[in-house]
């Protein structure tokens, strides 16, 4: 018996030495251990997701992240003006603007995917199911929204466009509640959005003194832009279940940016000289889109559309403040602006304030 045991030990040692020299695995872990390790990893991933969900549903964190996105989007107003000047793009050259926007959004997609891959420690490659969702979101968020916006803006005033774009908060809530039926339409949401929209009108009141005469090509396309934006927010909420919002955001930007650039080039669009300042502004705008929309997508995944979309009223407010600082546009920070800011904040509070729980009567 001892001799047999000694022979078995020698055989095992020889096998191990051969495996060491050939580089093959020494010994396989028992199947039960591997299964347990896999279950443990899945449990840790689920725990991390639940922790992230809890954080992103916290009203204070939602407000902070939403304001972060709005501040970035607000800075884009002045950055786009600077970029047009540096690249020699006229405000009425829609094909040049589409080409510029397409390059910007394609770069934004690359940035978002690079960040998401580093965070996930793996490449964010969509599967067949995710690819369908990406195409739907990209169609509304990037292609239709900005195609209509750039062409419409070339045929209307910037002030009227700012007021009309503010309607996208209403469209997002109405589409989510009435068409897709992913949340209920409440009186609180309608009142809050109305108060916030009054603030948007007040900000642009000086530019509306000439009247609100509706122009089909200009104003009509801007309205279609707001509808596309509303569908984008609602679809991101509906389709992000079980998906990484950064993956959806990055790939939809990359796909939509390529489509916009191709449309712009086919329309005769071209970009001027690439200088260091011009490229720097373009990269900053790409970062704005990548960071702001990725954060916005994460908020939409874990919160009702109405509670997130209403923060969109802060975009023009942040845009006015940043433009006054960066572009030295004097006279914009007036008393009417402060009143408008109060109305926008009041609208956000009305929508996001939780109703008081009803206390049941005490038993007699």
When pLDDT is cut at 50, 70 and 90, the band that residue 362 belongs to is: very low
Residue 161 placed within a domain? yes
Per residue in 42-68, pLDDT tens?
565 566 667 777 788 898 999 999 999
Average pLDDT over residues 115-130: 92
Average pLDDT for the chain: 81
Beta carbons of 250 and 138 less than 8 angstroms apart: no
Per residue in 20-44, pLDDT tens?
444 545 455 555 555 555 565 556 5
Distance CA 287, CA 291 (A): 6
Average pLDDT over residues 296-318: 88
Note down the domain range covering 341: 86-352
Residue 35 placed within a domain? no
Which two structure tokens, joined as six digits, stand for 149? Answer: 């916006």
Distance CA 145, CA 142 (A): 6
Beta carbons of 352 and 310 less than 8 angstroms apart: yes
Terminal CA-CA length for the chain: 85
Average pLDDT over residues 127-146: 94
Nearest to 228 by CA among 152, 153, 144: 144
Residue 163: its H or E element: helix 158-165
Beta carbons of 236 and 300 less than 8 angstroms apart: yes
Per residue in 162-197, pLDDT tens?
777 778 888 898 899 989 889 888 888 888 888 888
% of the chain at pLDDT higher than 70: 76
Residue 146 placed within a domain? yes
When pLDDT is cut at 50, 70 and 90, the band that residue 346 belongs to is: confident
Residue 324 placed within a domain? yes
Beta carbons of 113 and 249 less than 8 angstroms apart: no
Counts for the chain of helices (H) and strands (E), in that order? 15, 0
Supply the pLDDT for residue 155. Answer: 77
- How many domains are contained in the chain? 1
Residue 213 placed within a domain? yes
Beta carbons of 148 and 214 less than 8 angstroms apart: no
Per residue in 214-254, pLDDT tens?
677 778 888 899 899 999 999 999 998 889 999 999 999 99
Residue 311 placed within a domain? yes
Supply the pLDDT for residue 355. Answer: 57
Residue 27 placed within a domain? no
When pLDDT is cut at 50, 70 and 90, the band that residue 262 belongs to is: very high
Distance CA 247, CA 7 (A): 56
Residue 162 placed within a domain? yes
Half-sphere exposure at residue 46, Cβ-oriented, CA atoms within 13 angstroms = 6
* pTM to 2 decimal places: 0.78
% of the chain at pLDDT higher than 90: 37
When pLDDT is cut at 50, 70 and 90, the band that residue 317 belongs to is: confident
């Amino acid at each position: 018996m001892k001799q047999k045991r000694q022979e078995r030990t020698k055989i095992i040692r020889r096998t191990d030495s051969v495996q060491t020299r050939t580089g093959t695995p020494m010994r396989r872990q028992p199947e039960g251990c591997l299964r347990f390790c896999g279950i443990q990893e899945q449990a840790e991933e689920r725990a991390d997701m639940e922790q992230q969900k809890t954080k992103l549903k916290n009203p204070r964190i939602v407000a902070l992240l939403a304001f972060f996105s709005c501040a970035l989007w607000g800075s884009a107003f002045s950055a786009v003006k600077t970029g047009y000047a540096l690249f020699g793009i006229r405000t009425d050259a829609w094909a040049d603007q589409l080409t510029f926007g397409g390059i910007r959004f394609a770069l934004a997609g690359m940035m978002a995917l690079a960040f998401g891959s580093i965070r996930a420690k793996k490449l964010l490659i969509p599967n067949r199911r995710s690819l369908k969702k990406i195409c739907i979101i990209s169609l509304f968020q990037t292609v239709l929204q900005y195609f209509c916006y750039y062409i419409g803006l070339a045929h209307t005033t910037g002030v009227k466009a700012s007021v009309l774009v503010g309607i996208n908060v209403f469209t997002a809530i109405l589409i989510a509640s009435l068409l897709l039926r992913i949340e209920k339409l409440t009186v609180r949401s309608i009142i809050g959005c109305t108060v916030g929209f009054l603030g948007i009108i007040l900000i642009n009141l000086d530019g509306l003194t000439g009247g609100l005469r509706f122009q089909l090509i200009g104003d009509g396309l801007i309205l279609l832009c707001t509808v596309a934006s509303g569908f984008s927010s609602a679809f991101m909420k509906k389709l992000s279940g079980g998906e990484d919002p950064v993956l959806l955001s990055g790939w939809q930007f990359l796909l939509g940016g390529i489509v916009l650039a191709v449309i712009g080039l086919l329309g005769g669009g071209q970009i001027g000289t690439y200088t260091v300042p011009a490229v720097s502004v373009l990269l900053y705008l790409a970062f704005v889109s990548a960071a702001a929309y990725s954060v916005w997508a994460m908020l939409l995944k874990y919160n009702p559309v109405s509670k997130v979309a209403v923060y969109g009223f802060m975009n023009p407010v942040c845009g006015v403040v940043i433009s006054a600082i960066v572009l030295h546009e004097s006279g914009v920070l007036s008393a009417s602006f402060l009143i408008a800011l109060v109305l926008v904040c009041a609208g956000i509070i009305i929508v996001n304030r939780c109703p008081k729980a009803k206390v049941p009567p005490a038993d007699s």
